[in-house]
Amino acid sequence: MKNAEGEDGDAFLERLFRMLNDAGTALMLSVGGRVGHFDAMDGQAAMTSSDLAARAQLDERYVREWLGVMATGRIVTYNRDAKTYQLPAHRADFLTTRAGLANLTLQANYLSLLGQVEDPIVDAFRNGGGLSYAYFPRFHELMAAESGAVHDATLLDVTLPLVPGLVDQLTHGIDVADVGCGSGHAINLMAGRFPTSRFLGIDMSDEAISVGRDEARSLGLTNAKFDRADAARARL
Ligand SMILES: C[S@@+](CC[C@H](N)C(=O)[O-])C[C@H]1O[C@@H](n2cnc3c(N)ncnc32)[C@H](O)[C@@H]1O
């Protein structure tokens, strides 16, 4: 019997299976992005699993299984006779480092991150309480990779000019705080562009703050500072 959306049990079951299949493919997109498979296949002729393993210096057995998932998920094409795989350009445009903001393997990384905290989340459903950022390994690294690409593409020339007069104020020199600055790339970008303003990045994570400090140091910025503080408790 169909429900109000015109869906019966069979159609729902098919949709569920598709979800589960796609979820498996998404996890392998995350793995492929991290080990560099998409970059290694980008713009290349069709290759065997041994070719890709040699190019990426990875274990061929694992590479073959990964390629199997990518072929069945219609991410790469497969030539049965030659046993070769190829990444079409129109898909590489959304899976590679060169894709920048459009690289959706970065989003897939968050799915595997969530999988890693399933046990404590189940526990929290039963017992309440919350999970601190420390439970999410690689959170700051992923956040920095994703938001860094956005900041690089838009912060200085698209986002800041949206606030009337802000670029003029930054040019003349003001004090700026970014509360929850993460790894601080936004602070460092602005500090580089507006040397007469002073920038303070605040975050509760030591790990994130130290990345921001290192970047400021490597860029020779003297107008960017970082403080580790919990904004919910500290008097800023
Ligand atoms: C979604 S991330 C965004 C990071 C950064 N703005 C960016 O664009 O990459 C949120 C950040 O807020 C920080 N944060 C959350 N609660 C905070 C608090 N109470 N005090 C300080 N930082 C906090 C986290 O550690 C995390 O780095």
Q: What is the DSSP string of 217-233?
A: HHTT-SSEEEEE--TTT
Whether the CB-CB separation of 42 and 98 falls below 8 Å is answered with yes
pLDDT, tens digit, 9 for 90 and up, residues 146-162: 899 899 999 999 999 99
- Does the pLDDT value for residue 233 go beyond 90? no
Ligand 1 site-directed mutation target among 203, 207, 226, most atoms within 8 Å of CB: 203
Per DSSP, helices labelled H in the chain are 9-35, 37-41, 49-56, 60-72, 89-92, 105-116, 118-127, 139-150, 166-172, 185-193, 206-218
Of 158, 156, 182, nearest to 171 by C-alpha is 156
pLDDT, tens digit, 9 for 90 and up, residues 33-72: 999 999 999 999 999 999 999 998 999 999 999 999 999 9
Q: Which two structure tokens, joined as six digits, stand for 88?
A: 């079409």
Collapsed DSSP state (helix, strand, coil) of residue 107 = helix
- Does the pLDDT value for residue 234 go beyond 90? no
- Does the pLDDT value for residue 236 go beyond 70? no
Arithmetic mean of pLDDT, 206-213? 96
- Does the pLDDT value for residue 209 go beyond 90? yes
DSSP state, residue 197 = S
pLDDT, tens digit, 9 for 90 and up, residues 170-204: 999 999 999 999 999 999 999 999 999 999 999 99
d(CA 82, CA 157): 49
The response to whether residue 231 sits with its C-beta less than 6 Å from ligand 1 reads yes
Give the mean pLDDT of the chain.
95
The response to whether residue 209 sits with its C-beta less than 6 Å from ligand 1 reads no
Ligand 1 site-directed mutation target among 138, 152, 187, 205, most atoms within 8 Å of CB: 205
